[in-house]
Amino acid sequence: MAELPKGTSTHQDTGDVFRLIFDRIQTGIIVIDPEQHTIVDINNHAETLLGLKREEIVGRICHDSICPSHQGSCPVTDLHTPLQNSERVLISITGEKIPVLKTVAEASMGGKVYLIESFVDIRDRKVAEDRKIALLAYLNEAFFRIRTPLELIGQNMTQIAGQVGSGTYTDEDIRSQLTINAKNIATIVATLEGLAAKAKDDNPDIPRDYRDLLTGK
């Protein structure tokens, strides 16, 4: 197991407590040498996310291992971009690009400055956002499909109301127009039912509450 630079603590007890917190905190932490861009240490949570043991990754160049940025274009050391809860990507051993919220801070240990990268896995949040987008797409589709027909029905009903008792149209004429509007309403209902079925059958990732809303359960 790689050790943090000497001089981190003046007391062994303090160092042990620091190591315990470092490994048990549920946030990924990676310590990087900014001059060589080498990984100095990582905690247990970072190991889990990356799919690598500490001894397998310590000493590697971060560009080649965990970061998609190319050499010479590091957001922090080359582009001087501050990262504070910035949405970034972490690359696991399998090549999976894991969306994370990353914060990078400098820390002096043993007379040398290191970069302390901390990050939180936001894959679940990204899935929730994708589901929300899918729901909004269904609702928007439903809105645009029924908006014009409903407006036409409203206009026709207004005209029918004005015809009643005017003597211009017979009762049969009015009855015929009401029948046409009833069929149009039935078509709109069928359209909504079709969208609800599509939401249920084609997109199982939509949360149950959203599917229930769309299907009227």
Mean pLDDT of 154-161: 80
What pLDDT is attached to residue 203?
59
pLDDT of 167-206, one tens digit each? 677 778 778 888 888 888 888 888 777 777 766 665 555 5
The yes-or-no verdict on residue 41 having pLDDT over 90 is: yes
Q: End-to-end alpha-carbon separation of the chain, Å? A: 55
User: Could you give the C-alpha distances from 156 to 159, 174, 184, in angstroms and in order?
Assistant: 5, 10, 11
Which pTM value belongs to this model?
Answer: 0.58
pLDDT of 86-141, one tens digit each? 888 888 988 899 999 999 998 888 889 999 999 999 988 888 787 777 777 777 77
Whole-angstrom Cα distance, residue 100 to residue 191?
40
Report the chain's mean pLDDT, rounded to a whole number.
79
